[in-house]
Structure 1
Amino acid sequence: MMQSGYKMSMCVCRAARRCANAAPLSRGFSTTSLALSGHNKWSTIKHDKMKNDSARNKVINKYVGQITVAAKLRDPRLQSLIDSAMRDNVPKKVIDNALQKAAGSGEAEGSTNIYEGMGPGGVAVVVEAQTDNRNRTVALVRAQFTKAGHNLLPMGGCMHYFDRVGRVLVAAGPDTDVFDVLLGIDGVTDFSEVQEDDGAAEGAIAESQDEEGSPQLYTVLTAPTQTNSVALAIQDAGLEVRDTAIGYEPKASTAVDLAAAPLADTRTALHRLVAALEATDDVTAVYTNEATN
Structure 2
Amino acid sequence: MAAHHALSTKARLRVLLPRIVLSPSLALVAIFVYGFIFFTTYLSFSDSKMLPSYGWVGFENYKTLFSLRMWDIAVTNLAIFGILYIVICSVLGLFLAILLDQHIRAEGFIRTVYLYPMALSFIVTGVAWKWFLDPGIGLEAVMHDWGWTSFQFRWIKDRDMAIYTIVIAAVWQTSGFVMATFLAGLRGIDGEMLKAARVDGAGTFAVYRRIVIPQLRPAFLSAFVVLAHMAIKSYDLVVALTNGGPGTATAVPSTFMYSYTFTRNQMGIGAASAEIMLLTIAAVIIPYLWSELREDPR
TM-score for the superposition, normalised by structure 1: 0.26
- The structure carrying a bigger helix percent of its residues is 2
Q: Which one has more relative contact order, counting CA pairs under 8 Å at least 6 apart?
A: 2
TM-score for the superposition, normalised by structure 2: 0.25
